[in-house]
Structure 1
Amino acid sequence: MAARSLRIALVSYHTSPFEPLGTGEAGGMNVVIAHHAQELAARGHEVEILTRRADTSSPEVEYIAPRLRLHYLPAGEPRRYPKGELDAFVQEFSRAMRVLARLDGVAPRCRWDLIHAHHWMSALAAEETVLAANVPLVFSYHSIAAPVGATLADGEPAESPARIAGEERAAQLAHRVIAVSQYEATAVAERYAACNTQMTVLLPGWTATCSTRWLRIPLVYLGRCPSMSCYLRVPTWRWPPGFNHSRVSILPLKHWHRWSWHIARPW
């Protein structure tokens, strides 16, 4: 148990960490946030995850585990949007977050001791609360915008035009940025040097096994790799009965700033 219990908000604006992998925007970031939240709660901290309501069936709050709650906040219509369009609803989410934080005059202080925003839109959504309550903001990029003028890979959806400015603003707001590798830390420092952001490198851990609806394999979270010559060695594979494993492959991606490798979704 932690020596001092903290009240922590984890903001994952564009995707719920507990959304089934392979649906919507659910991927590696979701896995990292979900395990991070569960571990913090298990160590005695009060953890609340804030995400955008993407359907009409989700409750206002879902109790995931002791000391761990998931809040669905309004931002646009309760449906899925392309990620590149979601920044249009950040301010609506920000207002709902401010109310949840009790900065609406009902209570004298913010309900959180710390806010950790994941991805640039989450940092912008947390801005009003961070500034109004003077709460420390920790920020994780998870991925960095493509350089201006970069060519998209075939089928790759366009990002919001506001992303680069949003990432810079996130760096300005953050009391500390958490990078998943020294390479990412260097890239952020070079891209947003004027922000003079405090940075810490925390290498992601890995689980012995990870079950999905398609396959069960040891999972290693690689993050963005600077070289296309990295390999993911999988010691054991356990295919579900009748699964067509020929439809799964490990593919290199075109740009280094994206995921260097991913497991193709088998559909």
Structure 2
Amino acid sequence: MNVYVRATARELGRMGVHVDVFTRSQNPGIRRVVELGTGARVIHLPAGPEAPMAREVVHRHLPEFVDGVEAHRRAEGLEYDLIHGHYWLSGVAGLALRESWSVPLVQMFHTLGRLKNSVAKTPAEVEPEIRLSEEDRIVRLADRVVAANVVERAHLAWYYGASTDRIAVIPCGVDTELFRPMPQVEAKRLLALPPDPLLLYVGRLQPIKGLETLLDAMTALDGAARLLIVGGDQDEPENGHADYLRERVSVLGLRERVSFLGAQPQERLRLFYAAADATVMPSYYESFGMVALEAMACGSPVIASRVGGLTTTVRDGVTGFLVPEGDAAALAERVALLLEDRGRRAALGREAQRWAAEHRWPCVAEAVCRLYSDLRPSASGHLARARCRSSHGRS
């Protein structure tokens, strides 16, 4: 499940909001209803084959999914006050349910099809027309759209004609109780890693993530560091790009310095962030960049492309560095600067941790609940239980 959805659902549940997260089942062996925490649960509904499939194929099964949500509601005698869709497919389902239930729809896209297409390098990377047309419809009809930052708000207005007075800017968050600093030596010991300088990439193995730029930058570092690649989305069909990246590593002579580790549990991921001298995000497009927040919360400086939401998530020269996307030489130069200057690296890491602390999930959930209260005034009663101010004893 998406980290954002899980974290906000749990935090809203702590505030007394009843949250049901409906998702399409991709594994018949998973329990239909799973508790996320107090007042929050996830409900897996069959809609088409219970297996990963391309999103445009999932779109054909949305009527079955919507029927499943309605059947669950009736079986439990529930009346929902509001729908919050995440990603475009959920927005399509949300519009159908809003029509049946006559309740407001809040939508967050997380990524935008037209933005992804603007940086696509091959026809295989282009998002289908059905996604673009459905995003247009959702933007036009949703009661509110949530943007993760002012950059995404501008993209929604420019590429989709969204009315900015219906867009709420609410940043993504990070679990600062899980992602927190620890001594680098200790993290490497727990991971059984050598003391060599270490770079980290965390994310999906997709062309839009720009990993080939990072691999090219590694060749310019002349053996100065190792690179760990953590990721690979288990919920999506394999697109062949992971095999291309592994082949690229061999062609560049990097097999001794680059390791593919696959997806890692979040509890273990914290160790990788703490062990790294820098976390690198060479993406061609990011709507926000939650990996950057997780890394910074652990005190790891971030070197990222100057694109999309990364331009607001990473503060250039303060919490890390921003470089032009696709520019391996610029990326290598900034990596080398960090590796050579321990004092600079430590200073950036300290500021990164402080910056990440401003994006705790309790504060995100409070902002989301305030948005709900604009549409459903009764939601304001839950704000008294928000933990944003009380977290870490701050005021």
TM-score normalised according to structure 1 size: 0.67
Distance 1:164 1:260, change over 3 A: farther
Aligned match for 1:143, one of 104, 111, 120: 111
Distance 1:198 1:261, change over 3 A: same
- What's the Cα RMSD here? 3.2
Q: CA deviation at 1:236?
A: 6.0
Distance 1:178 1:160, change over 3 A: same
Q: CA deviation at 1:148?
A: 9.1
- 2:113 partner SS: coil
Q: CA deviation at 1:161?
A: 2.8
Aligned to 1:40: 12
Cα deviations by residue, 1:100-133 (Å, 9 ceiling, x for unpaired): 233x9x96xx621011000111010122210111
1:202, 1:235 → 2: CA distance? Answer: 29
- The answer to whether structure 1 residue 50 and structure 2 residue 33 are counterparts is no
- 1:205 partner SS: coil
Amino acid at match of 2:21: I
Q: Aligned residue pairs: how many?
A: 210
Distance 1:148 1:38, change over 3 A: closer
- 1:127 partner SS: helix
Aligned to 2:280: 250
Distance 1:242 1:114, change over 3 A: same
Amino acid at match of 1:32: Y
Aligned to 1:226: none
Amino acid at match of 1:72: H
Aligned to 2:65: 93
Cα deviations by residue, 1:169-195 (Å, 9 ceiling, x for unpaired): 111231111111011011101222266
1:114, 1:55 → 2: CA distance? Answer: 28
- 1:120 partner SS: helix
- The answer to whether structure 1 residue 129 and structure 2 residue 106 are counterparts is no
Gaps of 5+ in 1: 1-16, 18-29, 211-216, 219-233
Cα deviations by residue, 1:195-236 (Å, 9 ceiling, x for unpaired): 6771111122333254xxxxxx54xxxxxxxxxxxxxxx886
2:123, 2:282 → 1: CA distance? Answer: 14
- 2:80 partner SS: coil
Gaps of 5+ in 2: 199-225, 229-278, 296-395
Cα pair 1:146 1:257 within 8 Å, conserved: no
Amino acid at match of 1:252: P
Aligned to 1:76: 48
- Rg larger in 1 or in 2? 2
Between the two proteins, what is the percent identity of the paired residues? Answer: 22
The structure carrying a bigger strand percent of its residues is 1
Alignment of 1:194-213 (within 5 A): 198-208=166-176, 210=178
Distance 1:136 1:56, change over 3 A: same
Cα pair 1:171 1:197 within 8 Å, conserved: no
Aligned to 2:79: 111
Aligned to 1:231: none
Aligned to 1:166: 134
1:192, 1:149 → 2: CA distance? Answer: 14
Distance 1:235 1:185, change over 3 A: farther
- 1:76 partner SS: coil
Aligned to 1:60: 32
1:34, 1:155 → 2: CA distance? Answer: 33
Cα pair 2:81 2:104 within 8 Å, conserved: yes
1:112, 1:91 → 2: CA distance? Answer: 19
* Greater alpha carbon shift after TM alignment, 197-206 vs 146-155: 146-155
2:173, 2:282 → 1: CA distance? Answer: 22
Distance 1:261 1:63, change over 3 A: closer
Amino acid at match of 1:134: S
Cα pair 2:114 2:159 within 8 Å, conserved: no
Cα pair 1:252 1:261 within 8 Å, conserved: no
The structure carrying a bigger helix percent of its residues is 2
Aligned to 1:213: none
